[in-house]
Amino acid sequence: MSPGRWGRRLGWWGVLLWLSIGRSGSAPPTPQPKCADFQNASLLRGTNLKVQFLLFTSANPSCGKLLTENSDLQNSGFNVTLGTKLIIHGFRALGTKPSWIDQVIGALLRAADVNVIAVDWVYGSTAAYFSAVDNVIKLGLDISSFLKKLLMLGVSESSVHIIGVSLGAHVGGMVGNFYQGRLGRITGLDPAGPEYTRASPEERLDPGDALFVEAIHTDTDNLGIRIPVGHVDYFVNGGQDQPGCPAFIYAGYSYLICDHMRAVHLYISALENSCPLTAFPCASYKSFLAGECVDCSNPFLLSCPRIGLLEQGGIKIKPPPKEVRVYLLTTSQAPYCVHHSLVEFLLQEPRNKETNIEVTFLSSNVTTSTKITVTIPKERVHGKGVIAHISPPCQINQVKLKFRSSTRVWRKDRSSVVGTFCIASLPVSNNDHMVCLPEPVTLQAGVATLHDMNISCLV
């Protein structure tokens, strides 16, 4: 389900060419074709899907060319030698054009020399969600028939990349299933959950639908699917409750859609920005935050997946393993990317109770600080966790450490601990990457202490 911002309609229906011809005998201006745009549908959905295929190229990135049944594809601007990316939107509650579609088209054309085809099925996706679900198979057949025309021109199956948003991700899976998994790539941006969480792999997106299938999950507790559906499944911030999104229902529509649409905005940001959105395979989000998965060795042989257009997401092994959950943290706004670091605290002596060390990173060029709590279990000496911060580690000037006191209301906790603090940027391949404070630190309960950090920048 991917409703955009209501009330916004970007139209390109009237591109007029004006040329001033001063000399007599000059050739008359060549009329320019009109740009095609998405349709608008009423809430009373018709039985006809009225699917449109709109071609966008780097030569004219903001003007869509309508490809009809009788279109001369060879003279439409479509380049057979380039890769082809199909964008499929999802449910449209009010029958309007997706507010994000122009951004995705532009970002793709700036990031790669490709053909971009936007699939407009607004008529078939409007009003009732369950009616839109009923149209998925028919739409998949229509897109498959259209792809067949491209393949007859010489387009290779492996050069086709489908990007499906919400319900559109499962449409992409249906198309991939019709082509028996031979298409090059499918990217699902928060694939829809309702009606699909318990569906069979043949009815939804799954790893068998293309040579490489990836999904970005941002709303698994509401509108998005909670199960892995690709070779690599990115569970961003655990897959739900994205930073910066409203936490209470009084925010209205934004509360309902913000988490779900974050996958789209993350993908746009990954295409437009150089800072990487890198993720790490792990059994659970809790284990990832606890610092248990920091090197991507299992199962990706140290090649960490990255959101964007890298081949196989940057994974170096072929064929890629299936349904691998990977995790990453982000900020609340574009470009969203952060630096992940492993922090460790090693006590000189074990304690007979749990020990909690609050760790805060401070940087001179960032006004906000980043904080986590490292927990050392009872009778253990080693605690660790993953912290995300905007600044690269070499720009972190200080670390603030605080031994959190036990909850004693009748008297002040005067206990203290002594230990060593270390940090390493993810991915961590071995202990040689750890940078530790030069001397052990003594922390008194409830008292914060500042320590200078000196981490070399990589060149």
Q: pLDDT for 196-208, tens place per residue? A: 999 999 999 999 9
Indicate if the pLDDT at residue 4 is higher than 90. Answer: no
Q: What confidence tier does 129 reach under pLDDT thresholds 50, 70, 90? A: very high
DSSP letter for each residue of 289-304: HTT---S--TTTTT--
Confidence (pLDDT) at 224:
97
* CB within 8 Å of 97: residues ≥ 6 apart: 4, 8, 9, 10, 37, 38, 40, 120, 122
108-118 pLDDT tens trace: 999 999 999 99
* CATH for the stretch 52-328: 3.40.50.1820
Q: Where are the domains of the chain?
A: 52-328, 339-452
Indicate if the pLDDT at residue 5 is higher than 70. Answer: no
- How confident is the model over 98-109, as a mean pLDDT? 97
Confidence (pLDDT) at 215:
98
- How confident is the model over 381-392, as a mean pLDDT? 92
Averaged confidence pLDDT in the chain: 87
- How confident is the model over 423-427, as a mean pLDDT? 92
420: exposed, middle or buried (C-beta count within 10 Å: 0-12, 13-18, 19+)? middle
CATH of 339-452, one of 2.60.15.10, 2.60.60.20, 3.40.50.20, 3.40.718.10: 2.60.60.20
Q: Residue 393 corresponds to which amino acid?
A: P
Q: What confidence tier does 387 reach under pLDDT thresholds 50, 70, 90? A: very high
Q: Which residue has the higher pLDDT, 118 or 60?
A: 118
Indicate if the pLDDT at residue 343 is higher than 60. Answer: yes
- How confident is the model over 130-142, as a mean pLDDT? 95
- How confident is the model over 100-111, as a mean pLDDT? 97
- How confident is the model over 176-201, as a mean pLDDT? 97
Confidence (pLDDT) at 367:
62
Q: How far is CA 349 from CA 291, 344, 352, 382, 423, in A?
A: 21, 15, 10, 10, 20
Q: What confidence tier does 456 reach under pLDDT thresholds 50, 70, 90? A: confident
- Cβ atoms 9, 97 nearer than 8 A: yes
Is the pTM for the entire model greater than 0.85? yes
Closest CA to 52 of 39, 35, 33: 39
Q: Which residues are catalytic?
A: 166, 190, 260
Confidence (pLDDT) at 254:
81
Residue 310: count of CB within 10 angstroms of its CB: 12
Indicate if the pLDDT at residue 163 is higher than 70. Answer: yes
Residue 449: count of CB within 10 angstroms of its CB: 13
211-263 pLDDT tens trace: 999 999 999 999 999 999 999 999 999 999 999 998 887 777 787 899 999 99
- Phi and psi of 108, rounded to 5°? -65, -45
Q: What confidence tier does 274 reach under pLDDT thresholds 50, 70, 90? A: confident
Indicate if the pLDDT at residue 378 is higher than 70. Answer: yes
Q: What confidence tier does 33 reach under pLDDT thresholds 50, 70, 90? A: low
Indicate if the pLDDT at residue 123 is higher than 70. Answer: yes
Indicate if the pLDDT at residue 17 is higher than 50. Answer: no
Q: E strands of 148-231, at which residues?
A: 160-165, 185-189, 212-217
Alpha carbon distance 17, 356 (integer Å): 68
